[in-house]
Amino acid sequence: MQKLLSAAFAAPALILALLASGEALAQSRIKDIAAIEGVRTNQLVGYGLVVGLNGSGDSLRNSPFTRQSLEGMMERLGVNIRDANANTKNLAAVMVTAELPAFATPGSRIDVNVSTLGDAKSLQGGTLLVTSLQGADGQVYAVAQGSVQTGAVSGSGSSGSSVTRGVPTAGRIASGATVELETGFSLDQMHEVRLTLRNPDFTTAQRVAAAINAVYPNAALAENGSVVALRPPPQLGMAGFISRVENLPVQVDSPARVIVDEVNGVIVMGENVRVSTVAIAQGNLTVSVQETPFVSQPAPFSGGETVVVPDSEVTIEEELGREIRIVEGSTSLQTLVNGLNALGVSPRDMISILQAVKAAGALQAEIEVM
């Protein structure tokens, strides 16, 4: 009797432990579901010249902006080539882009991307000359220069045939720009920061605030379904407080949603998708038209002509053995998927079934068609 009682108490304890472990596995860190407002990268852009190309650059006659850039650069270096009939193809006009990380300091290095503007065939072996990179406010935040790496391979023969792998007209310079100016975002001077959820949801926002307040009382307030305001305790700085907060686990909630990509036949359903009691039947109807032309040969000396006579055969086939199935109400996602798989339907047929179930009012989820 004692063994039975101990087993009876052990079973619920085991179930609770499994449920607790399942909830723990379903939790995410705050840093993975939210971002600090204002802490972001900034896009930079600049215009420059790539030199040292082996005859694969811009044609100066077809790219006037490249010629003007060359003349202006040489004049700044004390050389006048305006009257010269220069037609070199060893340089190319390019656009240079980069992303300035948050809290980047002067002297730090960032990667840059280089892309051609004119009719250059390849940037392989080229060197980007000093190029200033500006932000949206027009200020120069970085300066780029260095050898361009395209990662592309190309070859051509004397007969005109060629082969290319990759994109030789775009390249990258690793650590090719030096930061010259900070963005001026002073986190240490702020008394309050705001967390912005990447997937806005009121339940998740409340859970984030509750998880923070459980460790640091009255430090978080959910302003809406997207923003949670944070105030650090007096004994912690803002950076240290954020470092501790972003590692707290939170169980994320999401609305019931079905994503449908009709072009590629892809269906993605969230775990909260439910379906009311509904009966589903699915069958395929195939119409085949087969053409079998034959030659009609007239009798000898009849004066007729040899003609091709079409012979068409039309057949209709309907796939049988698809019985109607009942999907019980309030079923889980797994039960819904098993029921649809039991019908033996393809993903594209499943898209039509889900849309029909939604039209019948039995699918308790939002369908989003991409």
For 89-128, write each residue's pLDDT tens digit: 899 999 999 999 988 999 999 999 999 998 998 998 899 9
Written as six digits, the tokens of 153 are 């391979």
Is-contact 244 251, C-beta < 8 A?
no
pLDDT for 13 equals 39
Q: What are the sequence ranges of the domains in the chain? A: 42-150+166-179, 186-251, 257-291+309-369
pLDDT for 247 equals 92
Q: What is the pTM of this model?
A: 0.67
How far, in Å, CA of 104 to CA of 157, rounded? 47
Buried b (16+ CB within 10 A) or exposed e, 181-208: eebeeeeeeeeebbbebeeebeebbebb
The count of other CB atoms within 10 Å of the CB of residue 244 is 13
DSSP character at residue 149: B
Segments of the chain scoring below 70 in pLDDT: 1-26, 83, 154-162, 280-294, 301-304, 308-337, 339-340, 342-345
How many CA atoms lie less than 13 Å away from 40 in the CB half-sphere?
Answer: 9
pLDDT for 21 equals 41
Q: What is the amino acid identity at position 270?
A: G
pLDDT for 1 equals 37
Query: At 184, phi and psi to the nearest 5?
Result: 85, 20
pLDDT for 135 equals 93
Written as six digits, the tokens of 323 are 């019985």
Provide the mean pLDDT of the chain: 80
Tens of pLDDT, residue by residue over 10-38, are 333 333 333 344 444 468 999 999 999 88
Written as six digits, the tokens of 172 are 């990258």
In sequence order, the 6+-apart residues with CB closer than 8 A to the CB of 211 are: 30, 248, 249, 250
On the 0-12 / 13-18 / 19+ scale of CB atoms within 10 A, 297 is exposed
In sequence order, the 6+-apart residues with CB closer than 8 A to the CB of 30 are: 195, 208, 211, 212, 245, 246, 247, 248, 249, 250
On the 0-12 / 13-18 / 19+ scale of CB atoms within 10 A, 232 is buried
Q: Does the CA dihedral 347-350-354-355 come out positive or negative? A: positive
How far, in Å, CA of 131 to CA of 97, rounded? 10
On the 0-12 / 13-18 / 19+ scale of CB atoms within 10 A, 319 is exposed
pLDDT for 327 equals 56
